[in-house]
Amino acid sequence: MKTFPISLLLLLSFSPSYGQKAFEFWPGATYDSKIPTLHQILGYDPGDKVTNHAGLLRYLEALSSAAPTHLKVFDYGESWEGRKLIYAAIGSEANIRKLAEIKNAIQRVADPRKTPEADARKLIAALPAVVWLSYGVHGNEISSPDAALLTAYHLLAARNDKIVDEVLSKVVVLIDPTQNPDGRDRFVNYFEQARGLTPDASPSAAEHNEPWPGGRVNHYLFDLNRDWIGLTQPEILNQVKALREWLPLVYVDLHEMGADATYFFTPESDPYNPHLTPNQRTSLTLFGKNNSKWFDKYGFDYFTREEYDAFYPGYGASWPFYYGALSMTYEQASVRGLVVRRSDETLLTFRDTVRHHFVASISTLETAAVNREKLLNDFYAYRVSAIEEGGKEPVKEYILPRGRDASATDKLAGILMEHGIEVNRAKAPFKSGEKEYAAGTYVVPMAQPAKRFIRTLLDPETKMDDKFVAAEEARRKLKERTEIYDVTAWSLPLLFNVEAIASSTVSTGAFEPATPARIVPGRLHGSTASVAYLVP
C-alpha cells in the first residue's frame, strides 16, 4: 500500500506520453513521405500497440508495394496453425534485381573444392554481405517484431542518411519479422483481451500475466529456440532451408529477458563451443563494439559477457556459426505489455524496448556494411580451413552402421543432411581397418566445409574449457549458482542410440551421396499376412 501513491504519480506522469509525436526512434532522421508509415497502414505509431502477425505481414507488403525495387517479400513456409513464415529482402535496386545471381555466387564461394581462391576473390569483390535478422522466436518476447517493421521502414524511407545508404549498397538485409507466428498471436490475443483503456504498469495486472501455455512456444508447445539440432518443427526446419540458400554472413536472433534486466549483446559469456574458430570470436567483438557506440550515444543501459554463453550449438543464435557465419543473440528487458514497473520503481515502456532492438538492428547492419569484404573473405577462409582440418585431424570420418537400429540411423543421417552435411552411403560391403561394414552403411567424411558442425554433433563429448570447469567446481563448493546458461550435452549418436565409429582412415569402396530422407519406407517381405505382420 505504501508504494501506491508513488506508482499512481508515475503512471499519471507517464500516460500522456502515449502517441506523443515528438518521440524520435532515430533522432534527426528525415523520411520520404512516399514510403508509408506504420500509422498510415495500421493506424498507430511504432511502440503504441503490439502488432499481430496479420499486421506484420500487411505492413511489410505495403512497404513492398511502395518500394518494389528495394524490398521483396518471400514465403518460406507455414506454421502449424497455417500462418505464413516470411522474410523481406531489402537492398539497393541493383542488388534486389539480381537476388538469384547473388545466391548463386554465395553458393560458389561456399565450396572451395569447386571454387579456387582466385575465383572466390573475384566473386567476393562484387558480392554484398548478406545479413539475416530474425525476430520473435519466442512469441511473448514482443518488442522485436515491431522493431523489425521499424528497421524495414527506416532502411526504405530515411533520406540523406550515410549509414542507410552504405547499408543499402553493401548489404542485402533479410528480415524475418516473426519466427513463431502462432505464439505471437497467442500472446497478442490474450493481451488485447486482458488490457484496459490505459496500460497498467503493475507486474501483477492481468495484462502482464498470460495464462498457460503462454506465447513463448509454438502450436505444439515447442521452444523453437531449442529445435535447431533436431529440426522437428516446420518453423525452424523451413528457416534452416532458407538459411542454407543464403548462407548469411551474419545472423542475429532478437529476444527478450526479465523486466529488471537491461540489454545484452556480444561478446557472450564463457563457455564458448571449442569448435568456434578464434577468428569468429574476435570478429564478434566488432559487432559488440559498434552496438556499444550507439547505446552509449543514446544512453541505453546494456551488458556483455554475462548470462548468455556460446556453448550449445542448437540455438538460433548458434546454428549459423557452424557453416561459417557470425551468430548472435540480442536480449532486451521485456515489458510484456505497453508499460511495466520494475522492482526499482522505474517504468519500462514497450516503445523504448522497440527502439533498443531497432537501434541494435541498424548498428549491426552498419558493422556488416563497413566490414563487407572482411566478412566474405573470412567466410571463404572458414570453409577452406574446415576442409583442411578434416583432412588432417585424427578423426577422418564417422561411420554409422545401420545394425543396431536401422530406422534411427536413417533418421539421424537424414537430419545431418538437412543441416547441409554431406553424407555418403555404401553401395556394397566395405572394409575400414579390420572391420567390415554392410551395404547401406552411412559414412560422413570430415574433409568438408561442415566439419566443425559434424564434430560437435557426433563426438561423444564436446569439451568445455578446463578453466571454466574448474571455476564451476569452485562455485559448486561454495553453493553458488552455475554460470552455464542451459544445455551442456547433445551427442546425437548417444541420443539416437546408434553406433557411430570415429575412423582414423578414409574408407575406400563404392559410395554414393545419400539422399535426405528421415524415414525410409518399409518393405513387405513375403506374401500378405493371414494373422499378423512382424516389424523388427
Q: CA 368, 370, 373, 378 torsion: positive or negative?
A: negative
CB crowding 245-263: b at 16 or more within 10 Å, else e? ebbbbbbbbbbbbebebeb
Q: Which of 83, 219, 255, 451 binds Zn ion (CB under 5 A)?
A: 255
Name the residue nearer to Zn ion (CB basis): 269 or 283. 269
Alpha-carbon distance of 468 to 482, in angstroms, equals: 11
Minimum CB separation of residue 186 from Zn ion in Å reads: 15
- Residue window 110-139: x/- pattern of binding to Zn ion, with contact defined by CB under 5 A: ----------------------------x-
Smallest distance, Å, CB 216 to Zn ion? Answer: 7
Least spacing, CB of residue 143 vs Zn ion, in Å: 11
Comparison of 115 and 269: residue with beta carbon closer to Zn ion: 269
- Window of 250-258, 314-322, 452-460, 470-478 that interacts with Zn ion by CB under 5 A: 250-258
Q: Is 273 helix (H, G, I), strand (E, B) or coil?
A: coil
Q: Is the peptide bond before 211 cis (omega within 30 degrees of 0)?
A: no
Query: CA-to-CA distance for 495 and 489, rounded, in angstroms?
Result: 10
Nearer to Zn ion, 138 or 184 (CB): 138
Contact 499, 402 (CB under 8 A): no
In the complex with Zn ion, the residue whose CB is nearer, 141 or 397, is 141
Closest approach of Cβ 512 to Zn ion, in Å? 41
Q: Are strands 250-257 and 129-135 parallel, antiparallel or unpaired?
A: parallel
Nearer to Zn ion, 255 or 356 (CB): 255
357 near Zn ion, rule: CB under 5 A: no
Please report which helix (H) or strand (E) contains residue 348, including its range. strand 347-349
Minimum distance of Zn ion from residue 255's CB (angstroms): 3
Please say which residue, 48 or 268, places its beta carbon nearer to Zn ion: 268
Q: Which three cell numbers stand for residue 157?
A: 524511407
Cis omega (within 30 of 0) for bond into 112: no
Among the listed ranges 42-50, 253-261, 394-402, 435-443, the one in contact with Zn ion (CB under 5 A) is 253-261
- Min dist CB 306 to Zn ion, Å, is 16
**Of 118-126, 254-262, 267-275, 354-362, which segment contacts Zn ion by CB under 5 A?**
254-262
What are the grid coordinates assigned to 452, written together? 566443425
Nearest to 337 by CA among 440, 457, 215: 215
Find, among 290, 284, 335, 333, the residue nearest to 309 by Cα.
284
User: Grid coordinates representing 496?
Assistant: 539416437
- Which CB sits closer to Zn ion, 141 or 410? 141
User: What is the C-alpha separation between 389 and 452, in angstroms, rounded?
Assistant: 9
CB-based closest residue to Zn ion? 255
Least Å distance, CB 533 to Zn ion, is: 45
Nearest distance from residue 141's CB to Zn ion, in Å? Answer: 5
Size, binding site for Zn ion by CB under 5 A: 3
| Cell matching residue 382 | 572458414
Binding interface with Zn ion (CB under 5 A):
138, 141, 255
